[in-house]
Amino acid sequence: MTDHRTRLQDEKRVRGSVSRVSGSVVDVRFPAGKLPEINSALEVQWETPKRLTLEVQQHKDVRTVRCVAIQETAGLACGAEVLDTGGPISIPVGEAVLGRLLNVVGDPIDHGPPLPDGMKRNLIHRKPPKLAAQTASRDLFLSGIKVIDLLAPLANGGKAAMFGGAGVGKTVLIMELIRTIAEKYKGTSVFAGVGERSREGHELWLDLKKSGVIDRTALVFGQMNEPPGARWRVALSALAIAEHFRDEEGKDVLLLVDNVFRFVQAGAEVSGLLGRLPSRVGYQPTLASEIAEFEERIASVHSAAVTSIQAVYVPADDFTDPAVAATFTHLDSSIVLSREMAGEGLYPAVDPLASSSTLLDPSIVGHRHYDIAEKTRQLIEQYRELREIISLLGIEELSAADRKAVGRARRLIRFLTQPFAVTSQFTGKPGAMVALDDTLAGCEAILDGKADEMEESDLYMIGTFEEAEQRTKGRAA
């Protein structure tokens, strides 16, 4: 019965034929006056078992549309029949996608069983919730990571991003957050791997299986070896799944995106393939609107919240890059990773001065938290100003007060490091999740001089301040 209905629907749909193929760009001719709309999905009806979906991007004339291919076009020839699906790309949603690894069009790529027939599907192109339906939360989303909870607290239902160049620990931080938040909040997570390396995707998949949180996580990947169309749309596919859990099931969702820069980069590739003139630094002229369309859909409504944590690659460590600058404007919390700190082995390499959050306000976090965070920042800033003098003349040339400030700042910086569960196999140290009260108590103790007699190494890669005291006692014994 279903096959008969599907066949009848297919017969009613408009059919066209391929008139030009140029890499990932395909021109399709339709009968006059029956052009599919922009962002419509077209299915190529060819002999191979491989699925080929095209997305309409331009109307060239009254009979021709220019499309971007979502999969490889190898073997596609002119004259191949194309079927207009009548709407944008859709992806299966619901409980059945949890624990599964999907591609941009919702096909499983984890070698598991096929998804059940008749699953509800959501369109990947949707409008954000109306402003009247959106809510702005002032609740903290505690991550268990000391430096983030202290200096750049995350908002429940907010957007946070981690900015950093290559090799400073963005993906490790994202993986740790998935693990700790899934264990602590027992919520639903959706992960979008945009332009990920196959190795990174495989490691994440195995780690989630090992930690037992895979059953509450849906993973959607458009990997680095896939065409730009897949990498460009995979974040929207993951977002469509998250929107279903928020709107239809009323569940709080954690949406993780790694990496937003690859989303922008794929858009730039598509823009170049379509022949658009590049804008600043060679980016697409639609850069700001593409990021806004994605970020504005990540919103919380009265019934449920979508909390988003994103990784953003910073090309050549240049934070003035247009892609990075355009992302900054949509965030509640900005976590900046420092190459210098990573080089010193201070992980997570979060820069305490460059990172910020709109929630770090006395009326939201309380006066004690705010005062400790400000004193911590001031002390670390004072230390950074004095470092040049120390490197030229030596620490002995500083005043007694400055020497004391430098010692406390160095201890604070080391106390804000901590071991991660996802790196325990490399470090040999079990991961530590630290409660906010323990973080505040430890920083307060260091600021008050209770760690002045401790070795700096006693405060390195620990959880709570009590662990440092036990190390000191152990050394004395």
Q: Answer for the pair 195, 223: CB distance below 8 angstroms, yes or no.
A: yes
Q: How many whole angstroms separate alpha carbon 78 and alpha carbon 80?
A: 6
Tokens of 473: 């006692």
Pick from 426, 341, 395: nearest CA to 169: 341
Tokens of 338: 């420092």
Pick from 363, 306, 327, 362: nearest CA to 135: 306
Burial per residue of 223-251, b for 16 or more beta-carbon CB atoms within 10 angstroms, e otherwise: bbebbbbbbbbbbbbbbbbbbbbbbeeeb
Q: How many whole angstroms separate alpha carbon 18 and alpha carbon 20?
A: 6
How open is the CA angle 442-447-448, to the nearest 5 degrees? 95
Q: Across 97-173, where does the E strand assignment appear?
A: 101-102, 121-123, 140-141, 154-155, 159-164
Please identify which of the residues 159, 170, 246, 408 carries the catalytic annotation: 170
Q: What single-letter amino acid sits at 268?
A: A
Active-site residue 197, yes or no?
A: yes
Active-site residue 20, yes or no?
A: no
> Which residues, in sequence order, are CB contacts of 112 under 8 Å at separation 6+?
100, 101
Q: Answer for the pair 239, 255: CB distance below 8 angstroms, yes or no.
A: yes
Please identify which of the residues 196, 226, 269, 290 carries the catalytic annotation: 196
Please identify which of the residues 197, 210, 280, 368 carries the catalytic annotation: 197
| DSSP H helices in 258-302 | 260-273, 287-297
Tokens of 32: 């006059």
Peptide bond into 352 cis (omega under 30): no
| Cα distances (angstroms) measured from residue 470 to each of 131, 376, 459, 464, 476 | 52, 23, 10, 10, 10
Other CB atoms within 10 Å distance of the CB of residue 24: 21
Active-site residue 130, yes or no?
A: no
Q: Answer for the pair 176, 211: CB distance below 8 angstroms, yes or no.
A: no
DSSP assignment of 210-251 equals HHT-GGGEEEEEE-TTS-HHHHHHHHHHHHHHHHHHHHTS--
Strands 15-22 and 81-84: antiparallel
Q: Which residue has the tokens 């082995």?
A: 345
Tokens of 398: 């500083």
DSSP assignment of 176-221 equals HHHHHHHHHH--EEEEEEES--HHHHHHHHHHHHHHT-GGGEEEEE
Q: Which residues are catalytic?
A: 170, 196-197
